[in-house]
């Protein structure tokens, strides 16, 4: 029989027909000594089997089918594949080996199952061998600092063991919003659940009472046969503490989220077989796969079978799902390949590792999201903080660096920086949320503009090159700010004193000012301008030494600090509200939370509107930048930028509006700040870009030498070794930095 005539014979079979046949013959098939499990799908053709009509490839006996083992890895679904029951066996036994004293014929899997009403249902035998999971290296992903979302890791403790899973998505019952993940990680209701955000584990919610382990198959799909079977779900909900910290936008996946795939007996069909799906697992990163089979019976216990709704195979050449990815949401892809529509489809709850020849493949086992939502009586959240960009929290630093490169005058310095723009930030034509999202979600290299936050503010045990001696405590922290607007009793500020004479741009003058103000802890004495001074000297030193890699590293990280300098709250003792207000306590004060809401959440949420304005504002900038001839001049210019930023957007004005809006980080507050301060924010960043370009140019001029290798692109690995070295631009406090300044 040819494949085409076979297809015509079986093309009328439906998914329900296959399930009925399997139900009728289940005990017959499962009692075969060699059978591992069963599923339903489309007949798999070996990749080296001839296509219909290829007469040259016919066997001598006229059969178009090649002989030999069939595995998931060496076979495929073709346009003419017909509906079939998939029977998984441990060992491949050719039909000729049954009988004649070799293999008991009773153990042979029939090629066709015949129903009582005359329907014939084909069987596709696939050789598999259950094995240990294939474990790849953990994904080197940089997690967000502002919004949490699907794809991010969640953690819990149980009996002294830390369990890890992945956030699938946000759901709501109309009143409370939950993060959906696996039940076995959530634990008992009321258990604390944490998330790891760039190295820090923080409480994000508690396990809800709404959980699913398994459900009778026929209670979920009453029109499908499946007696004495359970549908495995393993769904848990986390009742999150603060919904404003979350985004419904999935992390790490390229595409536009669409409607949830509504799966029921009428909509679920064999058309799902071989369809492309994608996910982002917190352990493995970006995952691509195809739906290999439906309703895989993966376990039998005490006379009951356990069924997984989806069996998902890893795409060739892509990372395989592994432990820690459970809970991730798989999306069905459709439409444009460059920007596909992502339809939420299924929640991964586990995996099955199968041996195909000498290759171990991890298959994801997943349950339909629509069934889980129906059973838990919740709806998928699709539009919460949807404007948040996928690279959460780095918009300012990256876009300022990119605009600064465009502001550098024509010549070898600009050519060199443009050649390495992707090492510092991103190219102007790649500064969209989706493009940066894709780059940040994969790979170990950290773009230089965010090394101070993503690397140096971390402990070495968490991140290679980290400089913290404890979580959120270390000498790098005061490098990012300077409280220069706090008045003395006579009304004079450190900012005014410094700008009155460049001679006051000295460590001794600043230490005396802090001491007179009663500040005794050097860890709280901000030294942002001196950090710029230190980096300026390093750029000059490395250029003279002919080390373009270290020069680029210094120039790249400088973008971060200048980006901080043009944010008015980094130059104010009211950096996070009015801590000194009457009645303020150590835990509550007017304006608390304004810093992250303005600098991170507002900028992230409105990045699409903000990004096009930054380069325009850099070109329009008409402020006076002091002449920079050395490191002291660079520091003085930094204080000037901080003063101009405070004039453009006074911290008190920002805080007062934040308080008037009610505080917190809700979309209403974030949008309210944008409506009032959006244009000013673009001007601040444009000014920062111009100052950064001026400092780069001044260092290049002072070095008075050429770049040793012209406009060469420096390898990321070479740069990573530089910024991971603690001797490179060492992070110190104000009382120790004098010896590092020229």
Q: Are 605 and 670 in contact (CB under 8 A)?
A: yes
Q: Is 409 found in the same domain as 367? A: no
Closest to 84 measured CA to CA, from 33, 45, 30, 136: 45
482 band by pLDDT with thresholds 50, 70 and 90: very high
Give the up-direction half-sphere exposure of residue 328: CA atoms within 13 A in the CB hemisphere.
33
Cβ contacts of residue 67 below 8 Å, gap of 6+? 59, 94
Q: Decide if 141 is inside a domain.
A: no
We report the CATH number of the domain holding residue 326 as 2.40.10.10
Q: Do residues 483 and 627 share a domain?
A: yes
Mean pLDDT value of segment 644-661: 96
Average pLDDT value for residue range 633-659: 96
Taking residues 721-725, report their average pLDDT: 93
146 within 8 A of 370, measured Cβ to Cβ: no
Note the pLDDT of residue 422. Answer: 86
Q: What per-residue confidence (pLDDT) applies to 649? A: 96
Is the model's pLDDT at 139 over the cut of 70?
no
Does the pLDDT of residue 476 top 90, yes or no?
yes
Q: How far apart are the first and last CA of the chain?
A: 87
Return d(Cα 30, Cα 8) in angstroms, integer: 29
Average pLDDT, stretch 33-40? 89
Mean pLDDT, rounded, of the chain: 85
- Whether residue 243 has pLDDT greater than 80: yes
**pLDDT-based confidence at residue 137 (cuts at 50, 70, 90):** very low
Of 692, 676, 19, the C-alpha closest to 408 is: 692
pLDDT confidence bin for 63, thresholds 50/70/90: very low
Q: What is the pLDDT of residue 101?
A: 61
What DSSP state is assigned to residue 627? P
Choose the final residue of a domain: 380, 406, 421: 380
Instruction: Tell me, yes or no, whether 97 and 159 share the same domain.
Output: no
pLDDT band at 394 (very low <50, low <70, confident <90, very high): very low
- Is the pLDDT score of 191 beyond 80? yes
Do 428 and 557 have their domain in common?
yes
Mean pLDDT of 313-322: 83
**CA atoms of 47 and 30, how far apart (whole Å):** 28
Domain assignment present for residue 143? The answer is: no
Mean pLDDT of 688-707: 95
Average pLDDT value for residue range 446-452: 87
Is there a contact between 131 and 354 (Cβ–Cβ < 8 Å)? Answer: yes
* CA angle (464, 466, 472) in 5-degree steps: 140
Q: What angle do CA 377, 665, 571 make, to 5 degrees?
A: 160
Confidence band of 290 (pLDDT split at 50, 70, 90) = very high
Q: Looking at 28-42, 318-332, 375-389, 438-452, which range is the least confident one?
A: 438-452
Percent of the chain clearing pLDDT 70 (strictly above): 88
pLDDT at 425: 82
Kind of pairing between the strands at 45-46 and 83-89: unpaired
Q: Which of 95-99, 405-409, 664-668 has the lowest mean pLDDT?
A: 95-99
Of 13-17, 84-88, 349-353, 726-730, the one with minimum mean pLDDT is: 349-353
In a domain, 363, yes or no: yes
pLDDT of the residue at 527: 94
Residues 226 and 346 in one domain: yes
Better-predicted residue by pLDDT, 302 or 728: 728
139 is a domain residue = no
Q: Residue range 382-407: average pLDDT?
A: 65
Mean pLDDT lowest among 355-369, 387-401, 520-534, 646-660: 387-401
Reported as a pLDDT band with limits 50, 70 and 90, residue 396 is low
Asked if the structure places residue 142 within a domain, the reply is: no
Averaged pLDDT, 694-704: 96
Residue 389 is predicted with a pLDDT of: 37
Cα separations in angstroms, 436 against 239, 249, 393, 561, 738: 30, 14, 12, 21, 38
- Domain count of the fold of the chain: 3
* Positive/negative CA dihedral, 603, 606, 608, 610: negative
pLDDT at 144 over 80: no
Q: Is residue 617 a part of any domain in this protein?
A: yes
Tokens of 610: 């903000």
Q: Are 111 and 207 part of one and the same domain?
A: no
In terms of domains, do 100 and 216 share one? no
Half-sphere exposure of residue 452, counting CA atoms within 13 Å on the CB side? 30
pLDDT for residue 462: 66
pLDDT band at 443 (very low <50, low <70, confident <90, very high): very low
- At 646, the pLDDT band (50, 70, 90 cuts) reads very high
The string of pLDDT tens digits covering residues 326-362 is: 999 999 998 877 778 899 999 999 888 877 666 778 8
For residues 110 and 160, membership in a common domain is answered with no
Contacts of residue 496, Cβ cutoff 8 Å, sequence gap at least 6: none
Is residue 132 a part of any domain in this protein? no
**pLDDT given at position 294:** 96
Domain residues for the domain of 112 are 3-127
What's the confidence (pLDDT) of residue 62?
A: 41
**Among the listed ranges 255-259, 418-422, 546-550, which one has the minimum average pLDDT value?**
255-259
Mean pLDDT of the 35-57 span: 84
pLDDT of residue 401: 87
- Of these ranges, 125-139, 146-160, 221-235, 436-450, the one predicted with the greatest mean pLDDT is 221-235
Token digits for 603? 């900028």
Domain C-terminal end among 127, 162, 186: 127
Kindly state whether residues 189 and 103 are assigned to the same domain: no
Q: Is residue 521 part of a domain?
A: yes
Beta carbons within 10 angstroms of residue 361's beta carbon: 21
User: Does one domain contain both 345 and 426?
Assistant: no
What mean pLDDT comes out for the span 636-652? 96
Q: Which residue has the higher pLDDT, 414 or 164?
A: 414
- Assess whether 484 and 632 both reside in one domain: yes
How remote is the C-alpha of 685 from its chain's centroid? 26
Last residue of a domain, one of 110, 127, 144: 127
pTM above 0.85, yes or no: no
- Residue 374 structure tokens: 């129906």
Comparing 78-82, 426-430, 723-727, the range with the smallest average pLDDT is 426-430
Residues 407 and 295 in one domain: no
pLDDT in tens, 83-101: 999 999 888 887 777 766 6
């Amino acid at each position: 029989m040819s494949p085409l005539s076979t297809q015509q014979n079986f093309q009328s079979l439906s998914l329900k027909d296959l399930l009925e046949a399997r139900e009728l013959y289940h005990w017959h098939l499962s009692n075969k000594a060699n059978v591992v499990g069963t599923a339903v799908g489309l007949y798999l053709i070996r990749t080296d089997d001839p296509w219909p009509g290829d007469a040259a490839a016919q066997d001598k006996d006229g059969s178009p089918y090649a002989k030999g083992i069939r595995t998931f890895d060496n076979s495929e679904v073709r346009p003419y594949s017909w509906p079939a029951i998939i029977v998984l066996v441990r060992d491949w036994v050719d039909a000729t080996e049954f009988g004649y004293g070799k293999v008991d014929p009773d153990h042979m899997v029939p090629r066709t199952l015949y129903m009582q009403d005359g329907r014939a249902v084909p069987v596709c035998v696939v050789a598999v061998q259950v094995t240990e999971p294939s474990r790849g290296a953990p994904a080197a992903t940089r997690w967000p600092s502002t919004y949490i979302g699907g794809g991010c890791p969640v953690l819990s403790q149980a009996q002294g063991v830390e369990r890890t899973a992945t956030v699938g998505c946000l759901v709501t019952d109309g009143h409370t919003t939950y993060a959906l993940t696996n039940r076995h990680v959530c634990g008992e209701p009321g258990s604390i659940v944490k998330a790891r955000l760039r190295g820090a584990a923080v409480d994000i919610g508690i396990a809800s009472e709404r959980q699913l382990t398994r459900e009778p198959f026929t209670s979920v799909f009453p029109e499908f046969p499946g007696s004495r079977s359970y549908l495995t779900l393993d769904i848990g909900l986390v009742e999150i503490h603060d919904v404003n910290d979350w985004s419904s936008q999935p992390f790490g996946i390229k595409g536009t989220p669409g409607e949830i795939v509504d799966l029921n007996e009428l909509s679920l069909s064999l058309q799902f077989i071989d369809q492309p799906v994608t996910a982002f697992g917190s352990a493995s990163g970006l995952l691509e796969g195809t739906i290999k089979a439906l309703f895989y019976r993966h376990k039998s216990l005490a006379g009951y079978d356990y069924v997984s709704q989806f069996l998902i195979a890893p795409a060739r050449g892509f990372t395989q799902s592994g432990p820690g990815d459970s809970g991730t949401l798989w999306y069905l892809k459709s439409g444009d390949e460059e920007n596909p529509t992502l339809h939420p489809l299924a929640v991964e709850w586990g995996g099955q590792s199968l041996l195909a020849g000498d290759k171990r493949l991890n298959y994801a086992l997943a349950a339909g999201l629509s069934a889980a939502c129906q059973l838990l009586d919740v709806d998928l959240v699709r539009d919460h903080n949807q404007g948040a960009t996928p690279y959460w929290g780095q918009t300012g630093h990256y876009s300022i660096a990119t605009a600064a490169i465009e502001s550098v005058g024509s010549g070898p310095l600009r050519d060199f920086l443009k050649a390495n723009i992707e090492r510092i930030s991103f190219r102007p034509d790649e500064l969209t949320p989706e493009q940066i999202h894709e780059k940040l979600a994969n790979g170990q290299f950290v773009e230089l503009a965010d090394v101070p936050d993503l690397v140096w503010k971390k402990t070495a045990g968490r991140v290679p090159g980290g400089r913290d001696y404890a979580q959120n405590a270390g000498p790098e922290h005061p490098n990012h700010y300077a409280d220069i607007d706090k008045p003395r009793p006579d009304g004079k500020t450190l900012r005014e004193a410094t700008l009155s004479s460049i001679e006051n741009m000295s460590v001794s003058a600043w230490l005396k000012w802090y001491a007179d103000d009663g500040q005794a802890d050097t860890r709280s004495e901000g030294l942002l301008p001196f950090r710029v001074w230190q980096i300026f000297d390093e750029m000059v030193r490395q250029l003279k030494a002919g080390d373009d890699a270290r020069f680029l590293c210094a120039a790249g990280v400088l973008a971060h600090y200048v980006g901080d300098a043009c944010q008015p709250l980094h130059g104010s003792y009211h950096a996070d509200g009015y801590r000194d207000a009457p009645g303020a306590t150590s835990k509550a004060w007017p304006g608390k939370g304004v810093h992250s809401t303005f600098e991170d959440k507002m900028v992230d949420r409105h990045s699409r509107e903000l990004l096009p304005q930054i380069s325009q504002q850099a070109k329009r900038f008409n402020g006076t930048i002091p002449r920079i001839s050395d490191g002291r001049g660079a520091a003085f210019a930094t204080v000037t930028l901080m003063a101009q930023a405070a004039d453009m957007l006074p911290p008190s004005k920002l805080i007062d509006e934040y308080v008037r809006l009610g505080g917190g980080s809700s979309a209403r507050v974030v949008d309210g700040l944008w409506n009032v301060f959006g244009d000013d924010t673009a001007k601040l960043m444009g000014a920062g870009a111009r100052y950064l370009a001026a400092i780069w140019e001044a260092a290049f001029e002072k070095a008075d030498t050429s770049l040793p290798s012209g406009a060469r692109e420096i390898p990321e690995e070479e740069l990573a070794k530089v910024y991971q070295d603690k001797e490179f631009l060492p992070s110190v406090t104000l009382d120790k930095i004098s010896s590092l300044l020229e």
